[in-house]
Amino acid sequence: MKYKSQTLKSINSRLFNSLVIVVLLVFASGSVYAADDKKTHNKAQQELNKGNFEQAEVLYQEILSKDGKDLKAHIGLGLVYLKKRNLSGAFEIGIKALELDKKNARVRAIVGTALLRSGYIERAIEQLVYSLQLNQRDDLALAASAEIDLYESRTSDAYGKLKLATDIRPSEGDYWLVLARAASRQELFKEASEALRQFLQNSPKTDIDRRARIEGVIKFYTYLGNTHLYQIRGKSSSIPLDIKLRRPYLEVKVNGKETLKFVIDTGAGLCVISPEAAAKIGVKEIARGGEARAVGGDGAFQIIYGLIDEMQLGDIKVSLIPTYIRKVHTLSSSNPEVVADGYLGLSLLGNFLMTMDYKANQLQLVLPEEEKAKELVSNPPANSTVVPFRTTESGLISVESKINDEVMLNFIFDSGATSSVISHDIVDTQKWQ
């Protein structure tokens, strides 16, 4: 019996030691996996910071293939998709992350930002407000909320949020870019130029043309300094329009020298003047950098900035108007009636309450503080339709329109366009043929 007892003890001891070894191996294996995941997380974050979004996406997908409940990887992948403008991907990964943690401020911010960039403003606001209720210092929610403030002309509110967002995360280049827009709208050009320098310092070096454009803007803002633009003399004016091929043309006396023909173009931010017209009136190049997209010609133009001393719009004179100097494409170069010297953009026209009467061929400009303007806003003409609008990050007019009584889309209100346009992506998504 004694021998049997000793044998049982020996067997039990060996089993216990084996169990300990197995448990230790399991723990050791788990530690190795955890260490590997941490390394992969760190590597993915580094690639994201460098702007290597494809590599970052692969690494986050690798983590999620091993652990589909890794919230940190969901958040990282959502940020990658936002950077890549894969908005549906950012939204979908954000919804999956909310199943893991409904009260995560960063996840709400990712979902809200994806909705915002997709044009679903009201739904975006709900997510961003909730995010900031959960964490009032979530920098992504602050920056996205500031974009909405800019859309709805609350520039000072946007400026305050962006100052906080850049303070919380100064390494995020995109925040500095939006801060520059908010500062420039308040004519804080020196601060705007510094914000753009911070953008260049903290953004990936991969987008060469975009960086060239920013360099050009910095030079232009540095030249402007604390200049007060669009100085207006006169309160209201009624000016004849010339409608040709569904485009509104206006004759404008420029720099007190020449009367030039401009298209009224609400689809343009800055004014545009052709090199030939610029030479006539003495507008010189101030700065240049990169290329911008344009309709007509080869689809792009080199960005060259100038400054027009004065434009006379009927009884109104406006001084110090920034402009692009570039070739102006016309609808028919063989018809001199539709050859334009430039475009009047919203940066100029937005200073007035503007009425274009296509039937009467008349343009009316009134300063917003005038009683005539206030009366028109409070008592619009009979049989008129009032359509609310927002402004885009570039200051263009964005109008919500429902298509087929079911799909709500955002359109740019563009008086310089001769036909309506809808993106291929929307057509494909809605399966319209």
Residue 295 in this model has a pLDDT that exceeds 60: no
For the ranges 134-138, 308-312, 414-418, the lowest mean pLDDT is seen at 414-418
Which stretch of 61-75, 229-243, 387-401 has the lowest confidence by average pLDDT?
387-401
| Average pLDDT over every residue of 408-422 | 82
Residues 290 and 210 in one domain: no
Q: Are both 50 and 156 inside the same structural domain?
A: yes
Supply the pTM of this predicted model.
0.81
Q: Give residue 16's pLDDT.
A: 46
Give percent above pLDDT 70 in the chain: 88
One domain, residues 218 and 235: no
Residues 252 and 365 occupy one common structural domain: yes
Q: Which of 27-31, 51-55, 220-224, 278-282 has the lowest mean pLDDT?
A: 27-31
304: pLDDT strictly greater than 70? yes
- 136 and 252 both lie in a single domain: no
- Say if residue 325 is in the same domain as residue 353: yes
153 sits in the region (left: phi over 0; alpha: psi -120 to 50; else beta) called left
What is the number of domains present in the chain?
3
Token readout for 119 is 């044009």
> Is the same domain home to 217 and 89?
yes
Q: Which amino acid is at 379?
A: N
pLDDT at 412: 85
Measured in degrees and rounded to the nearest 5, phi and psi for residue 397 equal -85, 125
Q: Which of 56-70, 133-147, 209-223, 386-400 has the highest mean pLDDT?
A: 133-147
- CATH number, domain of 373, equals 2.40.70.10
3-state secondary structure the chain: CHHHHHHHHHHHHHHHHHHHHHHHHHHHHHHHHHHHHHHHHHHHHHHHHHCCHHHHHHHHHHHHHHCCCCHHHHHHHHHHHHHCCCHHHHHHHHHHHHHHCCCCHHHHHHHHHHHHHCCCHHHHHHHHHHHHHHCCCCHHHHHHHHHHHHHCCCHHHHHHHHHHHHHHCCCCHHHHHHHHHHHHHCCCHHHHHHHHHHHHHHCCCCCHHHHHHHHHHHHHHHHHCCCCCCEEECCEEEEECEEECCEEEEEEEECCCEEEEEEECCCCCCEEECHHHHHHHCCCCCEEEEEEECCCCCCEEEEEEEEEEEEEECCEEEEEEEEEECCCCCCCCCCHHHCCCEEECHHHHCCCEEEEECCCCEEEEECCCCHHHHHHHHCCCCCCCCCCCEECCCCCEEEEEEECCCEEEEEECCCCCCCCCCCHHHHHHHCCC
Residues 280 and 377 in one domain: yes
pLDDT tier at 104 (50, 70, 90 boundaries)? very high
Per-residue pLDDT at 226: 86
Residue 14 lies in a domain: no
The answer on 369 and 331 residing in a single domain is yes
Query: What CATH number corresponds to the domain at position 102?
Result: 1.25.40.10
Q: Across residues 311-337, what is the average pLDDT?
A: 86
Least confident of 281-290, 298-307, 346-355: 298-307
Q: How confident is the model at residue 420 (pLDDT cuts 50, 70, 90)?
A: confident
**How close are the terminal C-alpha atoms of the chain, in Å?**
90
Comparing 413 with 17, the larger pLDDT belongs to: 413
Question: Quick one: pLDDT band at residue 397, thresholds 50, 70, 90?
Answer: confident
pLDDT, tens digit (0-9, with 9 covering 90-100), for 209-265: 889 999 999 999 999 998 999 999 999 999 999 988 888 999 999 998 899 999 999
- Do 373 and 407 have their domain in common? no
User: 396 pLDDT band (50/70/90 cuts)?
Assistant: confident
Beta-carbon contacts of 185 under 8 Å, excluding residues fewer than 6 positions away, are: 150, 155, 395
pLDDT band at 294 (very low <50, low <70, confident <90, very high): low
Choose the weakest-confidence range: 25-34, 70-79, 185-194: 25-34
Confidence of residue 23 (pLDDT cuts 50, 70, 90): very low
pLDDT band at 296, cuts 50/70/90? very low
pLDDT, position 332: 60
249 falls within a domain: yes
CB 181 within 8 A of CB 393: yes
**Is residue 312 located within the same domain as residue 237?**
yes
Q: Using an 8 Å Cβ cutoff, are 199 and 180 in contact?
A: yes
Q: Does residue 10 fall inside a structural domain?
A: no
* pLDDT(386) > 70: yes
Give the per-residue pLDDT at 381.
Answer: 80
172 and 244 both lie in a single domain: no
327/405: higher pLDDT: 327
Does the structure show a pLDDT above 90 at 365? yes
Span 8-36, average pLDDT: 49
In a domain, 9, yes or no: no
Domain, as residue range, for 215: 32-224
pLDDT of the residue at 36: 65
27 belongs to a structural domain: no
Min mean pLDDT across 74-83, 285-294, 312-321 is at: 285-294
pLDDT tens sequence across 87-98: 999 999 999 999
